[in-house]
Amino acid sequence: MKRITASILTAAVLAFGGLVSDAIGQSYSSANQNERVVSPVKLTLPVEDGSVRFLVTGDTGTGSKGQHQLAEVMLRHHEAFPYEFVLMLGDNMYGGEKPADFKTKFENVYHELLGRKVTFYATLGNHDESNQRFYGHFNMKGEEFFRFKRGGVAFYSLNSNYMDKRQLKWLEDELEKDDSEWKITFFHHPPYSSGGSHGSSTGLRQVVEPIFLKHGVNVVLAGHEHFYERIKPQKGIYYFISGAGGKLRKGDVKKNSPLTQKAFDQDMSFMLVEIVKDQMHFQVISRTGETVDSGVLMNQKKKGATDSK
């Protein structure tokens, strides 16, 4: 009952005086300048006990109206899919990085999630100052690259701005002794991309891909491109781009790219991920609450191939 009440309040706040027809499940329209209809929450994720649940977003640091609207949709999904943490894929701050900027471009946007004790883990993008690693809410513990673990899943946040020898050695050493069921790396520049403005970071790919292959990295998450793209598995590794968390580069995904399994470049978006044993479920949600991609990926060590819905 408490949860439903909270949802009604959330929906009412979201509507800004527009039409509100229900708590969680119904559409409503917002009477603000950029009117939009938000779709009902429809999870494709299993929400199983003991699973590892998280949200993925990138290129968020604008404080824009769109970023706020996307955060509202994230919050609505937290009701139905209580994710424990958020991976930020870089460009966490565009422009200034004064305390006031951290407030307007991060804290004010995600304050309700922060209030629910959702933990954010950041990686550094090309617009980010290195000192962000000391900002408490980014949980980088003063490091430009770091590892943490949840259940059987190891997460590696890398600094793709400077993939120097020190970082590569650290990565190899950590992976060498890592017997986690899943190894997920996240960093800013995408090794594979169908973006018209940036495209694949091929130099970076040449350096990191052999390490990922040697040590059985399962999934790579990147931003930089302001759209969503799921890349066809490359040498068995699953690559995603989710960089439309604060900006959108509409129509930037090249048509008929041989890399694209699925792409969405018409609105801002974020990813929800749930790992249940040897399966990784994902669902990608737009600013209007629509599901624009979803599927299940099998752990590469297990028998069976990818299976997308």
Task: Report the residue number whose CB is nearest to Fe ion.
Answer: 224
Nearest to 91 by CA among 221, 204, 224: 224
Q: Which is nearer to Fe ion, 153 or 204 (CB)?
A: 204
Instruction: Measure the CA–CA gap between 62 and 51, rounded to whole angstroms.
Output: 32
| Cα separation values, 278 from 83, 150, 298, Å | 19, 14, 6
Number of residues located near Fe ion, criterion CB under 5 A: 4
Instruction: Measure the CA–CA gap between 124 and 292, rounded to whole angstroms.
Output: 26
What lies within 8 Å, CB to CB, of 73 at 6+ separation is 38, 270, 285, 286, 287, 288, 289
Rg (CA), the chain: 19
Q: Which of 147, 150, 205, 224 binds Fe ion (CB under 5 A)?
A: 224
Q: Which is nearer to Fe ion, 123 or 299 (CB)?
A: 123
Q: Does 289 bind Fe ion (CB under 5 A)?
A: no
Site for Fe ion in 69-98 (CB under 5 A): 91
Q: Which is nearer to Fe ion, 223 or 289 (CB)?
A: 223
Q: Which is nearer to Fe ion, 83 or 227 (CB)?
A: 227
Region of 106-114, 153-161, 218-226, 301-309 interacting with Fe ion (CB under 5 A): 218-226
Instruction: Measure the CA–CA gap between 279 and 298, rounded to whole angstroms.
Output: 5
The three-state secondary structure class of 115 is helix
User: What's the min distance (Å) between Cβ of 224 and Fe ion?
Assistant: 4
Q: Which of 63, 66, 125, 289 binds Fe ion (CB under 5 A)?
A: 125
User: What's the min distance (Å) between Cβ of 206 and Fe ion?
Assistant: 20
User: What's the min distance (Å) between Cβ of 113 and Fe ion?
Assistant: 23
Secondary structure (DSSP) of 248-288: --TT-BPTT-TTEEEEE-SS-EEEEEEEETTEEEEEEEETT
Q: Which is nearer to Fe ion, 91 or 274 (CB)?
A: 91
Q: Which is nearer to Fe ion, 242 or 294 (CB)?
A: 242
Region of 16-24, 81-89, 208-216, 221-229 interacting with Fe ion (CB under 5 A): 221-229
Q: Which is nearer to Fe ion, 51 or 132 (CB)?
A: 132
Q: Which is nearer to Fe ion, 48 or 129 (CB)?
A: 129
| CB 246 within 8 Å of CB 270 | no
User: What's the min distance (Å) between Cβ of 285 and Fe ion?
Assistant: 22
Backbone angles phi, psi at 149, to 5 degrees: -135, 145
- Which class for 136: exposed (0-12), middle (13-18), buried (19 or more C-beta within 10 A)? exposed
What lies within 8 Å, CB to CB, of 137 at 6+ separation is 102, 106, 107, 114, 120
User: What's the min distance (Å) between Cβ of 116 and Fe ion?
Assistant: 28
Region of 19-27, 125-133, 165-173, 250-258 interacting with Fe ion (CB under 5 A): 125-133
Region of 9-17, 140-148, 216-224, 276-284 interacting with Fe ion (CB under 5 A): 216-224
DSSP state of 222: E
Instruction: Measure the CA–CA gap between 112 and 72, rounded to whole angstroms.
Output: 9
Q: Does 126 bind Fe ion (CB under 5 A)?
A: yes
Nearest to 72 by CA among 151, 157, 14: 14
Q: Does 252 bind Fe ion (CB under 5 A)?
A: no
User: What's the min distance (Å) between Cβ of 125 and Fe ion?
Assistant: 4
Q: Footprint of Fe ion on this chain (CB under 5 A)?
A: 91, 125-126, 224
